[in-house]
Chain A
């Protein structure tokens, strides 16, 4: 196995140091390291961060390989600085059996660009009626720990309670897509001033908050772990803050797009901005940034949702919800959290690597940059500014909401257990 000597990078934005990688691990960090036979990577001015971990990725395989595959999604992830991604269960067939989660896990291994960690469905076929075989998925080779019906809310309160209780047996967590379905029938965008004017059916903040309020009470009652997907409103942040203060084992994620974009994007009627939950208001964006900064929101998760052209090049109401996120996630966090002074690099590592790895119970990820640790890390050029060109993305789909936008930072290299998956800003394969 090739050794690498990274010269002069700044671990977590601190003072420059050399990082020696051998046998898949960080062998040493220090000044003026040398190693015979090691490939040298000049990294002056670059920031070294632990490899990012995504709790929420839609890889579309099996079923919609025209939109994304495990391989193309893995490549996009590596280019974004990720070393592990959780693959959501809403595939076709649904990942609700040990067989399907093992298939996805194996495809991830074959692609070999990131660790693909399957999420298991909570209910059979995501239908919200009866529990899928959660234990079988947990015991499978894929070792599923995160369960989610994402795309759908587990809206039946009794079923949600049972799911929360049941996964305690194998230290699992239920990741809830919080959306009260009766309050969001036909919903197209955030319900507020802009939906009133645009004539698009509103998705009220209360439909998210009502489920979060219910679920934190249930999680507290049964002493189980709850994770809330893609928190999008100021009210949700308040509820999470309250629940955490009461000792409820709740964690939450926010997407890059909810940190940056607002419902003003809908004024174009361009469905590239249609997403579920919808883009919210300036006040919500500000509250989400604050919540992420103070740790009320634990993690950034992309909700990377590739869609084929025909599913987006249409009328707003006909388009599928969702947007790409893997390749620009870190850049958006730099713009919204670092350049605003809300998070330092240690904070970025915590919200994009350590905490998501802990929530997903991933042993080898989200570790400190220290000797003996697995060499999962990325090098970021914080001074670069990149204009997003959807045609240049590694994802098979093109539905990036950042098209034409200049964002800060560029991932120069990513290492997965000591093997580069990205070098010079390009995927190694």
Chain B
């Protein structure tokens, strides 16, 4: 593993597989245990530096670090010195001076974790940067697919929705490609980036044409505000053309699964009956997120203390 986890685009197959295998070992080690805790990172400090509200991601990282016995500091940028104009660099240097070994950063600006990595000696984990990447989400998605379907190579994955603004989509595209899956992105043309043609994916505007061939359907959150900027005419039209409802779910193959990174807009991109169906891995993804983030922290930090 490299020192940082900044983007899934720079994970090679061996590194990515190592994370997934390590997560599986952690799951096995903790299965049936009453105290879900390993001593691996005792004495190490992990800082959660969150410039955006994301309770679920923060809690997931917090739990992961605590289960590895690390000390955890939650540093919310809101209401702190940061909101009073302190720069990212000054914040980074302060956290480092306090002895942080890893900084888990969520930031609204694409590339913020890359900047941070220039300024600190410890590890930086990207917990979502702007519209760029969210690599641990992709890793937990890959882990979930592998557990459900037993493999990743050759698995056909449809990623559906606001690809343009989605860091989850970008991370999944690169990671799934690296791991041998076949990815199709499905969206109205307005929600695909110019340049998507250079990605290692198929592109489709037609969800109904893609569903029967998909082993995995990954629905992306679509923000209603997008319609104000004319990305689509109305929430209703979006839902009709690109939402996953019961009728569309019936077109899926028997083994196919439905994923969503959360939080969901029920009734917008995904119908309640789909989200709550047996095909849905949404709750499972949350649990797997903790194991995968434990694996990431372990691999980034664990090796260096011994």
Contacts from A to B (Cβ < 8 Å): 188, 191-202, 204, 268-270, 310, 313-318
B87, B167, B196: which contacts A196 (Cβ < 8 A)?
Answer: B196
Q: Which residue of B lies closest to A191 (CB)?
A: B194
- Decide if B133 touches A314 in the complex (CB within 8 Å): no
Chain B proximity of A275: nearest CB distance (Å): 16
A188, A193, A313, A314: which contacts B195 (Cβ < 8 A)?
Answer: A193
Number of A-B contacts (CB under 8 A): 73
B9, B111, B133, B193: which contacts A316 (Cβ < 8 A)?
Answer: B111
With A313-B89, A314-B89, A317-B130: A196-B193 Cβ-Cβ less than 8 Å: yes
With A197-B170, A199-B170, A268-B114: A316-B198 Cβ-Cβ less than 8 Å: no
B132, B194, B198: which contacts A198 (Cβ < 8 A)?
Answer: B132
- Decide if A269 touches B87 in the complex (CB within 8 Å): no
- Decide if B194 touches A318 in the complex (CB within 8 Å): no
| Contact partners of A195 in chain B: CB under 8 A | 193-195
Contacts from B to A (Cβ < 8 Å): 9, 87-89, 107-112, 114-115, 129-133, 167, 170, 193-196, 198-199
| Contact partners of A317 in chain B: CB under 8 A | 108-110, 130
- Decide if A316 touches B88 in the complex (CB within 8 Å): no
- Decide if B111 touches A315 in the complex (CB within 8 Å): yes
Chain B proximity of A188: nearest CB distance (Å): 8
Cα of A193 to Cα of B109 in the assembled complex, Å: 19
Most B Cβ at <10 Å: residue of A188, A191, A197:
A197
Q: Which residue of A lies closest to B132 (CB)?
A: A199
Chain A proximity of B100: nearest CB distance (Å): 19
Q: Which residue of A lies closest to B130 (CB)?
A: A199
A191, A199, A201, A313: which contacts B129 (Cβ < 8 A)?
Answer: A199
- Decide if B9 touches A197 in the complex (CB within 8 Å): yes
| Contact partners of A314 in chain B: CB under 8 A | 87-89, 115
- Decide if A269 touches B195 in the complex (CB within 8 Å): no
Q: Which residue of A lies closest to B117 (CB)?
A: A269
- Decide if A199 touches B195 in the complex (CB within 8 Å): no
Q: Tell me the dominant secondary structure on chain A's binding face.
A: loop
With A196-B198, A199-B133, A269-B115: A318-B109 Cβ-Cβ less than 8 Å: yes
Cα of A188 to Cα of B132 in the assembled complex, Å: 13
Chain B proximity of A281: nearest CB distance (Å): 11
A191, A192, A199, A270: which contacts B110 (Cβ < 8 A)?
Answer: A199
| Contact partners of B198 in chain A: CB under 8 A | 193, 196-197
| Contact partners of B107 in chain A: CB under 8 A | 315
List of 4 A-B pairs having minimum Cβ-Cβ separation, nearest first: A269-B111, A199-B132, A196-B195, A196-B193
With A199-B170, A318-B109: A204-B115 Cβ-Cβ less than 8 Å: no
- Decide if A200 touches B170 in the complex (CB within 8 Å): no
| Contact partners of A201 in chain B: CB under 8 A | 131
Q: Which residue of A lies closest to B229 (CB)?
A: A185
- Decide if A310 touches B87 in the complex (CB within 8 Å): yes
Cα of A315 to Cα of B198 in the assembled complex, Å: 26
A196, A268, A270: which contacts B199 (Cβ < 8 A)?
Answer: A196
Chain B proximity of A323: nearest CB distance (Å): 17
Cα of A310 to Cα of B87 in the assembled complex, Å: 8
A192, A199, A310, A313: which contacts B131 (Cβ < 8 A)?
Answer: A199
| Contact partners of B87 in chain A: CB under 8 A | 310, 313-314
B114, B194, B196: which contacts A269 (Cβ < 8 A)?
Answer: B114
6 A-B residue pairings within 8 Å (CB atoms)? A194-B195, A197-B9, A198-B132, A202-B193, A269-B114, A315-B109
With A191-B195, A192-B195, A310-B87: A316-B170 Cβ-Cβ less than 8 Å: no
Q: Which residue of A lies closest to B116 (CB)?
A: A315
| Contact partners of B114 in chain A: CB under 8 A | 268-269
| Contact partners of B109 in chain A: CB under 8 A | 315-318
Extra 5 A-B pairs, beta carbons < 8 Å, given A191-B195, A315-B115:
A192-B195, A197-B9, A199-B111, A315-B107, A315-B112
Cα of A188 to Cα of B170 in the assembled complex, Å: 18
Chain A proximity of B157: nearest CB distance (Å): 19
